[in-house]
Structure 1
Amino acid sequence: MSTTLAGELVESVRRHADTVFEHGRDRYGDDRTPLLADAVDAGTLDAVPYDARDVDDGRRLSNFAVQQEFLRTLVGLARSTGATEYRDEAAALTSWVLEELSDSAGLLYWGGHAAYDLDADELVINKDAHELKFEYPFYEFLWEVDAERTRRFVEAFWSAHVVDWGRLDFNRHGEWDGAVGNPWDDEYEGGDVFFWGEGLTFVNTGSDLYYAAGLLSSFANEAAPLTWAERLARRYVETRQEPGLSGYQFSQHPSYCNGPAIRGDRAQYQFAPYIHGDHLVYEGTLFRPRPIVQRQQLALGDRLGPRGESFTRWALEELRAWYEVAYRSDANEFEPMLTDGHSLEGFVCRRNGYFGPKGRVVGPIDAGPEFFWTYARASRLTDDPVCWRAARDIGRGLGLGEVGRPDSKPDLSASDRTDPPDYALLYGLLELHRATDRGEYLEAAQTLGTDLLEGRFRESTGAFVDDRNRARLDDPVPLSLLHLAAAIREESAADLPTPVGAPRTPEGGI
């Protein structure tokens, strides 16, 4: 049965890719490009408006950042089947984007606020700024296709976003067509965190910056990009207070707190007047866990080997702190709090502001499948017992049954799940299988994979669809099923692209 299932999974992904290429390829407007639409209606088989990055929700867009998991799927499909045409299609698309959809500095027109309109044959730029947040593009393949343009992009990415190299103040928005010298020649001074700066040093862009520089260092075998990647990642570590929780940002910015008349740190405005005691209350001291950050830190540390030890250690420390300080196993949730451990659960917003309207009550943070996947990856890569306990507890809370211990047999019962099947649960089980080689994890993963196949794949159109009957290029499910098929066939997961998944925000919290 397993061998048959593996074949069905690979065939479904192959059909999905064929459907996307047949019906999602640019055939609109006057020009013809190699671009693909971000979404195809599985009924009409026409491209449909789908705006995943705040560009323009009324246009049929092609946003290369949205398509990175599909790019990984194509490369994985070529490796799984030996059909090199899928890799060739991915290379042709990548090469065209790197050559044609970049500014004078080498920044790509993609991600937040920038995409290509297939009907109008023009770029659409909202907010006139480059932005990547939780994207972690498929740099390995971009480098393979065009190393020089990939290098130019990473250097332009840093140059456009960093506004003060001495303390690494940066903004999530970067200017187009800026000057790019050698960004790694600047001087770094460091200094205290929570300084007032020009940028908003959110970790959603910060982690994309240090991930890009770390991989460039690996590809080019150069030390300087890695030095800067470590400096930037360390800034978030420097926000930690005694419990070991990091902040979502490491600076303060005079932002709109409640309309343009009131400017300042938005958390200080909305929370600080109503929190008694000696607590630092800034945006950078709110506990806002995003497991994709630590998961990609672990991936970067694994890629770099001994040179990436800092990334692995920082991710592990953070994940331990989340579990030991904030996790509640009885409800499978994290307590909302300041990073000093002061609880914010039940806090009622008395002012309208960035973190919610007046009257909003701060609730707990659900420990969903993304957390399970991240803790499972940490368990495999570090053998850390705390992360294993976290994976066990979160897995139980998500209805997987008893994950067990590394040295004991699990008692998994995927049928106890009450929520729909989730690709992140599947990846988590595959991580545990790789860590232990126990068949129970693979059996549970097969149950999940079968549910995903039956629930998401449409035989009539040969595509994986969402709840609006769209085949979307940011869908992480096809790649997850390729990884499951490889595990069933006892093929190395290292032969497939490392998945990133979707940038999902946990429910609850701040």
Structure 2
Amino acid sequence: MKKLMMVLLIMISSLMVSSKVFANGPTIPYTEADYARLNAVIQYVENVLKYGHEYNEETNLLPDAINTLTGEPARWTFPNRAEVPYANLANQQNFFRTLVALSNVTGSDKYKNEAVSILDEFMDNYQSPNGLFQWGGHRAINLDTLEVQSFEGPNGPHELKNMMPYYELMLEVNEEAALKFMRQMWTAHFYWNSTDMNRHGSYSTAYDVNVFGQTIPEDVIKMDTNGNPIIPADSPGLLPFVNSATDLAYAAFTLSNHTGDPIPADWAKYLMRQYNLASNPTTGMTVYQYKSTLVTKSAIECADPAYTNSGCGDRVARQFRDFGPIAREANVAWKNTQAVYVDNILMLLEAADKYGQSEFVDWARQYIEGYLKYAYIRVDGRNKIIPMFIDGTVTYGYIVPEVGYFGPSRMRLDYVDMPTSYLLPILRTILQTEKAENQALLWSYFRDIVYTFGLGDIGSLGGANPNLDVDTSIDDPFALMAMVELYDHTKNKAYLEVARTIGNNIVTEKFHRGFFVESEVMLYSRLDQPDTLALLTLDAVIRGISLDDMPFYLADSGYIHGYLLSNDGVVEDRSYTQNMVYTKTIYD
């Protein structure tokens, strides 16, 4: 009976698809397979809402992930064995985008209204007096008590790293709270007098309505006599990681766009320019941070190589000292590359497209062209990354002599798999680059990478004469979004047909027990997964809905980091949800 009711729900949902979503006139036949994909998304959303709301009916908030066997929320097990179900809205931004996208393609306001009600409760009840929201890497809402829960000691800090909140909807729901938060991001995370930046922000930092009223200082990065950037080693542990800078910059650009005040955008440009100035003049590759840490700990503490607190100076300089001055944490091009060459570039391109920062397209092309020219390689038919520093100094095969921040002693550096998420920044950079001669090199790399991922030949620049694998087994949301955006740009239906195949594969391989999971055996369905948003993007272009009218994918980097009980049930550990919670299977 339960299964019959679900089938009826799906049929009703299909019938509810309003004719107004075809207002521009469908130029592509809408098939049964297209309906099946949409219905999978509808069933998933309905299940998330049903089970998420059932757990605690006193709140509209939803858990970050749902147990697909029981319908229970995911829980964090603390060292004292307390099991806490959690709602961290910084980690649910793609679900809110999915809800709005589903309303767009169905013509029903039901799903957007759900997003509005959740955000309305959160923004009204869980904003600190200083303006920061109770969310991020170290804080969430306990769904049992509806109180703020810290995961990093008794008073976890505010932390966003490539989470890219859905500000458009937040401004619609509670404009005052959203504007206050965007200003306070800078008050709490950026140190104006020293130009240091901290990924952690304090909830005790007083709100400053005039946070952008100070004079923009000189650039942090200076050049030596050979034209190479000088990375200052004067940060007292407050390192300007680019994955925090993206969130700061995105908030400031959105603030300027909404208020008409250009000053926050000027500060955002200043911040992102430091990474550009610190990029290598020969390779074009950019940095993870534009400062190194100052030594603030004692010589006794720092004598132990296993002590990796940043107060002992640059952690790469300590562990990779064989490589000389280039060995700095800022210059590593084999770790945190997703943050530098995917999320960072997607933010730059979004700012260029929406907020007129046209020079960001040139920066994005410089970074990713250099990265692909020097660090990309195909090995045994797979896309790989060569471990190196950003000046092109290869570290492949190096055996690390002693333990440190980047791994254990005797560790041998090997090639790193290139994830499919790289498809989007490469393609979007190409599509936002105006001149064909500037697109050509990136297209050649993109063509090789797409082929190696198993999608066939995308053809020559502009989408002419593709020879795509319409029977591809790829079930990847980034490949799907790339094919959809290629079709939207070229109108070559070959890309659309491959996109449909990928979408069908996603539903076949990842839609289980009424939820989207990474594979059939995975226990938890994570709300921030990008698959449903990708499927709705495909549905939109088939219906003739402009992608400009759809929520745009920017990141799915949400996490919780803190203290917990290891899976052995004995050892106290400090780790991430992605390592300790979302790796669990239905057999654990």
Give me the TM-score of the superposition, normalised by structure 1: 0.91
Identical residues among aligned pairs (%): 29
> Which residue of structure 1 aligns with residue 20 of structure 2?
none
Q: Aligned to 2:75, what secondary structure does the other structure show?
A: coil
Residue 371 (structure 1) shift: 0.9
> Which residue of structure 2 aligns with residue 191 of structure 1?
220
Contact (CA 8 Å) 2:139, 2:151: kept in 1 or not? yes
| 373, 377, 388: which one aligns with 1:328 | 377
Per mean C-alpha deviation after superposition, the further-off stretch among 64-73 and 338-347 is: 338-347
> Which residue of structure 1 aligns with residue 389 of structure 2?
338
2:348 is aligned with 1:311: no
| 247, 260, 264: which one aligns with 2:313 | 264
Q: Aligned to 2:141, what secondary structure does the other structure show?
A: strand
CA distance in 2, matches of 1:489, 1:83: 15
Q: 1:100-115, aligned counterparts within 5 Å? A: 100-115=125-140
2:288 is aligned with 1:248: yes
Residue 38 (structure 1) shift: 1.4
For 2:467, give the aligned amino acid. Answer: D
Residue 320 (structure 1) shift: 1.4
Residue 180 (structure 1) shift: 2.3
Contact (CA 8 Å) 2:136, 2:558: kept in 1 or not? no
Contact (CA 8 Å) 2:66, 2:525: kept in 1 or not? yes
CA distance in 1, matches of 2:85, 2:453: 37
Contact (CA 8 Å) 1:135, 1:503: kept in 2 or not? yes
| 170, 191, 196: which one aligns with 1:169 | 196
Contact (CA 8 Å) 2:91, 2:556: kept in 1 or not? no
For 2:196, give the aligned amino acid. Answer: D
For 2:42, give the aligned amino acid. Answer: R
Greater than 3 Å deviation, 4+ residue runs:
254-257, 414-417
For 2:46, give the aligned amino acid. Answer: D
Residue 156 (structure 1) shift: 0.8
CA distance in 2, matches of 1:405, 1:22: 47
2:515 is aligned with 1:463: yes
Q: Please, which runs of 5 or more residues in structure 2 have no aligned partner?
A: 1-28, 222-229, 296-301, 560-588
Residue 469 (structure 1) shift: 3.4
CA distance in 1, matches of 2:450, 2:359: 28
Residue 451 (structure 1) shift: 0.4
> Which residue of structure 2 aligns with residue 483 of structure 1?
537
CA distance in 2, matches of 1:379, 1:167: 37
For 1:378, give the aligned amino acid. Answer: T
> Which residue of structure 1 aligns with residue 573 of structure 2?
none
> Which residue of structure 2 aligns with residue 284 of structure 1?
330
Residue 40 (structure 1) shift: 1.7
CA distance in 1, matches of 2:418, 2:195: 32
| 460, 468, 471: which one aligns with 1:405 | 460
> Which residue of structure 2 aligns with residue 348 of structure 1?
399
| 392, 411, 422: which one aligns with 1:360 | 411
Residue 334 (structure 1) shift: 2.5
Per mean C-alpha deviation after superposition, the further-off stretch among 7-16 and 356-365 is: 7-16
Contact (CA 8 Å) 2:308, 2:404: kept in 1 or not? no
Q: Aligned to 1:333, what secondary structure does the other structure show?
A: strand
For 2:63, give the aligned amino acid. Answer: A
Give me the TM-score of the superposition, normalised by structure 2: 0.79
CA distance in 2, matches of 1:345, 1:402: 30
2:451 is aligned with 1:396: yes
CA distance in 2, matches of 1:130, 1:145: 22
Residue 7 (structure 1) shift: 2.1
CA distance in 2, matches of 1:243, 1:260: 29
Q: Aligned to 2:140, what secondary structure does the other structure show?
A: strand
> Which residue of structure 2 aligns with residue 231 of structure 1?
270
Deviations 1:391-444 (A, max 9, x none): 111101111111111242111115455xx5111111111121122111111111
For 1:365, give the aligned amino acid. Answer: V
Going from structure 1 to structure 2, the CA distance change for 1:436 and 1:401 (only over 3 Å counts) comes to same
CA distance in 2, matches of 1:226, 1:386: 31
2:24 is aligned with 1:4: no
> Which residue of structure 2 aligns with residue 508 of structure 1?
none
CA distance in 2, matches of 1:170, 1:341: 27
Q: Please, which runs of 5 or more residues in structure 1 have no aligned partner?
A: 506-510
Contact (CA 8 Å) 2:163, 2:247: kept in 1 or not? yes
| 75, 85, 95: which one aligns with 1:49 | 75
CA distance in 1, matches of 2:424, 2:499: 12
Whose Rg is larger?
A: 2
For 2:516, give the aligned amino acid. Answer: F
> Considering only aligned residues, what root-mean-square deviation do their CA atoms show, in Å?
2.3
Contact (CA 8 Å) 1:374, 1:428: kept in 2 or not? no
> Which residue of structure 2 aligns with residue 67 of structure 1?
92
Residue 2 (structure 1) shift: 4.6
> Which residue of structure 1 aligns with residue 575 of structure 2?
none
Residue 472 (structure 1) shift: 2.0
